[in-house]
């Protein structure tokens, strides 16, 4: 995995899709590719109340990414210093093998340039000390971006509280 | 404006659209708009000069000021602002003949079209013939050449020398296809003229009814000019009629195509020679405002050997062929020597055989491979029992009592190269020998017969005795006088004369309109963008150039019947399917590079892409190796390489050639097509064990993401 962790606190997500919009505009993408995507799971009835979950799906920046293994041109790479998986457009020829190899559907097709685009945690922004575009616009602050050692135990705390309330 | 849209091309499209929709009702404004469009097209094809931009601005200003109605004023205003806004782009087109956005279409016409002196859209008409739309093919050809039938029979086809297919096996039979389509369209009554512009009352006089003059007459007639052609012979056609023998070009072919030009209202005055039967002043008094000189090269060079002027049995090839063409079928002698190695020499020799001469010998001072005649002409001459004496220089014609008895010659050897790049023949001393002949026909070259042009003393003549003109506009230094054809180029080909006539017609139109002449000769224009003919790779490779059906040898030695019998419908359509469509595929080699060097698949074996050192080509290799990843198609700059899913298959085509097609696998969840098994095997081999363990399910990108999101949703902790 990369040394970063992009955590979505799904409980607070209202499914406004601002993250998707910011991502697309930051990467200047046409209709089609969704480098990150908020998917609606549900609604279904929980105690007779319809509930839906909004799940943020970026790239997981796997430890041993299949997209990198599948890429015949070396365009898909894992950055040595922080483990970010990214695509070098100078090398990408558009064979789409990474798209077929990824079990999460993370690499996307940009028909305008005939190459693959994918979430790279906005490498250029990170290198300038900024956060990824999606995180900066999240209206409910449910997206958190940290290095793995600094991530807050939000879910653990919430679960503990819930357990306490049960008593 | 969209990204990648060039303002030059965009404005030309807009103007053409406005004109086509008839949105400018005022004739005066329409004319100005057409002129602007014409100038705009010059700019977009790299033919513009420094005056183009100010001329367009002036015309746009007139539209704005004098337009009269709202639409014209608005159009003028818009054009002015466009010219102002995109001034830089216009200037770069004018100064560097380069469209940085690649939107100006004629950036890369096919090599065949570039090689054609008339600039015919070859790939376009070949494709139309392949689709069985021969009559449309003829209309397409006639945008650049009003003589598709003549050229389909006698053109020297420089296009075929450039044909890229020739680097794989043999060039496409471009000439024969044209002849086939023209004959078919004519016989079915589908050979039609485009609509003529309304009469504009302006009179143009064309001197000479050869290919250059008739071409100019056709294009000027279409533009609404009142064209009169004066011709010294009793019929139209010029050298096509009296130079090319009937067994190559039947008279009916010329007559029918000339009739199409007559249909446009062009009038002919036969037996009328400028300077003899009519003077320039007479013509000017009749109201002719522009003149086009296309008198050809009807005089012959002399051999300068002794005896040349002493015998009536010596007749130069041009005079001989003319006499035969006009109906005198007496044979020149029983044993004839034809001097020279060009097409005219072949024509004269083969005509002699048909007149009943017993022995015809072609005497040429160089070797067979140096002959300027078309190889097929030489082959056909040999088939007709014509003898050849190579490395032979005639030095004297001998005889007595006005009758030739023999031709004395010297053997020659090839020495060092001369200025034409050919090795100069050097006579060998003391090697003289005689050939028994009773007639000699010199065919060693033609020149211009200047008689009749004495009154035009301001014309400038070149060292080669041809008229000097501006090569872009065919203008002579004499106001209102244009010239083209053999009189400018020296003896050349039909298609070169047609190209010159077409250029002159455009220049004459501009002369009347008072708009600037182009500074560069025109670049051929792709006339239309046609879809591809779909052909399996194996068929593409196995189809071969059709053998032309020929008249039997006995007939050929006795009659003037057409020797080449033409292609059958089936072989013509099959031949069109061999075309590689170089108007779309620019042979940049990106696909091959990516497949071999980036993907490591090496499925494209296309050696013909190398111009100088063509390698082996086999389109069938793709089916064995290609994984249908589509990287070649994704990187093809022109859309020649295409990948599509249809009929449960993924199909890769290059300009319609089906390189590979494999059955698709589908998403197990939504049924969307994923790719063929071979593609998935390729990926599985690269991702290895781990992927094999996890990848039990076959999902598309969208479903994979959805499934992952659902899994995340499921593992959410219970909510308090």
B132 at A interface, C-beta within 8 A: no
Angle at B276 between CA B275 and CA B278, to 5 degrees: 70
User: What are the residues whose beta carbons fall under 8 Å from the beta carbon of B534, sequence distance 6 or more?
Assistant: B653, B656, B658
A39 chain-B contacts, CB cut-off 8 A: 705-706, 709-710
A166 lies in some domain: no
Comparing C-alpha atoms, which of B493, B60, B482, B50 is closest to residue B240?
B493
Comparing C-alpha atoms, which of B477, B442, B481, B439 is closest to residue B458?
B477
Can you tell me the ipTM of this complex? 0.91
B719 chain-A contacts, CB cut-off 8 A: 11, 162
A101 lies in some domain: yes
Residue-range definition of the domain harbouring residue A124: 4-158
Res B655: pLDDT: 95
Count of structural domains, chain A: 1
Comparing C-alpha atoms, which of B621, B632, B625 is closest to residue B594?
B632
pLDDT digits (tens, 9 = 90+) for B498-530: 999 999 999 999 999 988 887 777 767 777 778
Comparing C-alpha atoms, which of B558, B568, B549 is closest to residue B247?
B558
H-run or E-run covering B397: strand B392-400
CB contact under 8 A, A102 and B704: yes
In this structure, the strands spanning B673-676 and B657-666 are antiparallel
Res B3: pLDDT: 40
Question: Any idea which residue has 């337009």 for tokens?
Answer: B67
A167 lies in some domain: no
Of A69, A97, A162, the CB nearest to B720: A162
A92 lies in some domain: yes
Mapping DSSP to helix (H, G, I), strand (E, B) and coil, where does residue B658 land? Answer: strand
Best A28, A34, A43, A105 member to test B by mutation, with max B CBs in 10 Å, is: A105
A96 chain-B contacts, CB cut-off 8 A: 629-630, 675
Res B96: pLDDT: 58
Expressed in angstroms, the distance from the first to the final Cα of chain B is 56
Return d(Cα B370, Cα B340) in angstroms, integer: 11
- How does the average pLDDT of chain B come out, rounded? 90
pLDDT digits (tens, 9 = 90+) for A90-116: 999 999 999 999 988 999 999 988 999
Res B152: pLDDT: 96
Looking at the complex, report in whole angstroms how far the Cα of residue A12 sits from the nearest Cα belonging to chain B: 12
At residue A56, φ and ψ (nearest 5 deg) are -85, 120
CB contact under 8 A, B629 and A64: no
A90 lies in some domain: yes
Return d(Cα B483, Cα B280) in angstroms, integer: 15
CATH number at residue A10: 3.30.70.20
In 10 A of CB A60, how many CB atoms? 17
Low pLDDT (below 70) residues in chain B: 1-4, 46, 96-108, 523, 689-696, 714-720
Return d(Cα B360, Cα B388) in angstroms, integer: 9
- From first to last of the 167 residues of chain A, give the pLDDT tens digit: 688 989 898 888 999 999 999 999 999 899 999 999 999 988 888 888 888 889 999 999 999 999 999 999 999 999 999 999 999 999 999 999 999 999 889 999 999 889 999 999 999 999 999 999 999 999 999 999 988 888 778 878 888 888 887 66
Q: Are B176 and B563 a contacting pair, CB within 8 Å? A: no
User: What are the residues whose beta carbons fall under 8 Å from the beta carbon of B697, sequence distance 6 or more?
Assistant: B668, B669, B707
Return d(Cα B694, Cα B713) in angstroms, integer: 20
pLDDT digits (tens, 9 = 90+) for B288-340: 999 999 999 999 999 899 989 999 999 999 999 999 999 999 999 999 999 99
Proportion of chain A in helix, strand, coil states, percent, rounded to 5: 30, 25, 45
A83 lies in some domain: yes
pTM for the full predicted model? 0.83
A164 lies in some domain: no
Q: Are B236 and B253 a contacting pair, CB within 8 Å? A: no
- DSSP codes, B580-593: --TTT-----HHHH
Of A69, A93, A159, the CB nearest to B598: A93
A87 lies in some domain: yes
Angle at B525 between CA B524 and CA B531, to 5 degrees: 125
pLDDT digits (tens, 9 = 90+) for B334-387: 999 999 999 999 999 999 999 999 999 999 999 999 999 999 899 999 999 999
């Amino acid at each position: 995995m990369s040394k970063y962790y992009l955590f979505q606190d799904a409980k607070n997500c209202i499914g406004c899709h601002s993250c998707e919009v910011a991502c697309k505009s930051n990467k200047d993408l046409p209709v089609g590719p969704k480098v990150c995507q908020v998917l609606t799971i549900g609604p279904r009835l929980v105690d007779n109340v319809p509930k839906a979950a909004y799940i943020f799906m970026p790239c997981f920046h796997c430890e041993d990414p299949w997209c990198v293994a599948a890429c015949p041109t070396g365009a898909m790479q894992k950055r040595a210093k922080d483990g970010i998986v990214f695509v070098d457009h100078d090398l990408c020829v558009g064979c789409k093998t990474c798209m077929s190899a990824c079990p999460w559907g993370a690499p996307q097709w940009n028909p305008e340039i005939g190459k693959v685009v994918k979430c790279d945690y906005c490498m250029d922004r990170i290198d300038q000390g900024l956060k990824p575009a999606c995180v900066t616009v999240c209206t409910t602050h449910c997206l958190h971006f940290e290095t793995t050692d600094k991530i807050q135990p939000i879910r653990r705390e919430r679960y503990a509280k819930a357990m306490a309330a049960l008593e | 404006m969209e990204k990648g849209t060039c303002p030059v091309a965009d404005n030309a499209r807009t103007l053409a659209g406005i004109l086509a929709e008839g949105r400018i009702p005022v004739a005066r404004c329409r004319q100005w708009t057409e002129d602007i469009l014409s100038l705009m097209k010059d700019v977009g094809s790299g033919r513009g000069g420094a005056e183009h931009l100010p001329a367009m601005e002036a015309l746009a200003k007139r539209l704005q000021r004098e337009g009269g109605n709202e639409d014209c004023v608005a159009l003028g205003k818009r054009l002015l602002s466009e010219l102002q806004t995109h001034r830089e782009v216009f200037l770069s087109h004018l100064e560097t003949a380069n469209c940085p956005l690649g939107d100006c279409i004629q950036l890369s016409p096919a090599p065949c079209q570039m090689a054609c002196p008339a600039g015919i859209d070859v790939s376009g008409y070949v494709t139309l013939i392949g689709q069985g739309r021969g009559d449309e093919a003829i209309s397409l050809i006639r945008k650049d050449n009003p003589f598709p039938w003549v050229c389909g029979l006698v053109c020297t086809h420089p296009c075929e020398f450039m044909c890229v297919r020739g680097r794989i096996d043999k060039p496409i039979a471009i000439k024969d296809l044209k002849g086939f389509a023209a004959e078919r369209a004519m016989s079915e009554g589908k050979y039609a003229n485009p609509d003529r512009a309304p009469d504009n009352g302006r009179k143009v006089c064309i001197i000479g009814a050869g290919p250059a003059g008739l071409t100019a007459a056709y294009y000027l007639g279409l533009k609404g000019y009142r064209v009169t052609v004066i011709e010294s012979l009793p019929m139209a056609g010029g050298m096509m009629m009296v130079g090319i023998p009937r067994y190559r070009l039947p008279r009916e072919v010329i007559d029918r195509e000339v009739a199409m030009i007559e249909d446009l209202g062009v009038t002919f005055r036969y037996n009328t020679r400028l300077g003899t039967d009519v003077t320039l002043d007479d013509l000017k008094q009749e109201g002719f405002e522009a003149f086009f000189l296309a008198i050809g090269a009807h005089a012959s060079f002399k051999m300068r050997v002794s005896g040349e002027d002493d015998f009536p049995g010596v007749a130069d090839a041009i005079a001989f062929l003319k006499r035969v063409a006009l109906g005198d079928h007496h044979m020149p002698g029983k044993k004839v020597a034809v001097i020279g190695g060009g097409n005219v020499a072949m024509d004269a020799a083969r005509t002699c055989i048909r007149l009943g001469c017993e022995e015809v010998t072609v005497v040429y001072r160089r070797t067979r491979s140096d002959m300027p005649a078309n190889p097929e002409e030489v082959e056909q001459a040999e088939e007709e029992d014509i003898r050849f004496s190579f490395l032979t220089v005639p030095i004297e014609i001998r005889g007595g009592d006005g009758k030739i008895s023999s031709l004395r010659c010297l053997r020659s050897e090839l020495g060092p190269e001369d200025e034409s790049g050919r090795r100069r023949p050097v006579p060998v001393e003391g090697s003289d020998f005689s050939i028994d002949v009773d007639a000699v026909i010199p065919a060693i070259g033609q020149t211009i017969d200047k008689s009749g042009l004495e009154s035009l003393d301001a014309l400038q003549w070149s060292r080669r005795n041809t008229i000097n003109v501006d090569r872009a506009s065919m203008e002579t230094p004499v106001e209102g006088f244009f010239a083209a054809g053999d009189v400018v180029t020296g003896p050349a080909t039909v298609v070169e004369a047609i190209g010159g006539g077409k250029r002159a017609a455009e220049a004459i139109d501009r002369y009347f309109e008072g708009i600037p002449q182009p500074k560069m000769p025109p670049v051929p224009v792709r006339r239309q963008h046609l879809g591809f003919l779909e052909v399996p790779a194996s068929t593409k490779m196995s189809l071969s150039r059709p053998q032309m059906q020929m008249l039997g040898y006995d007939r050929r030695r006795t009659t003037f019947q057409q020797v080449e019998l033409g292609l059958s419908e089936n072989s013509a359509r099959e031949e069109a399917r061999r075309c590689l469509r170089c108007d779309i595929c620019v042979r940049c080699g990106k696909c091959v590079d990516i497949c071999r060097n980036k993907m490591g698949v090496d499925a494209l074996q296309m050696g013909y892409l190398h111009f100088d050192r063509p390698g082996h080509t086999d389109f069938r290799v793709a089916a064995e190796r290609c994984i249908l990843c589509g990287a070649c198609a994704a990187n093809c700059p022109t859309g020649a390489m295409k990948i599509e899913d249809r009929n449960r298959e993924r199909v890769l085509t290059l300009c319609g050639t089906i390189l590979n097609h494999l059955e698709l696998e589908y998403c197990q969840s939504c049924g969307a097509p994923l790719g063929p098994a071979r593609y998935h095997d390729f990926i599985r081999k690269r991702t290895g064990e781990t992927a094999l363990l996890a990848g039990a399910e076959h999902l598309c990108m969208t479903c994979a993401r959805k499934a992952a999101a659902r899994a995340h949703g499921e593992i959410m902790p219970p909510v308090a």
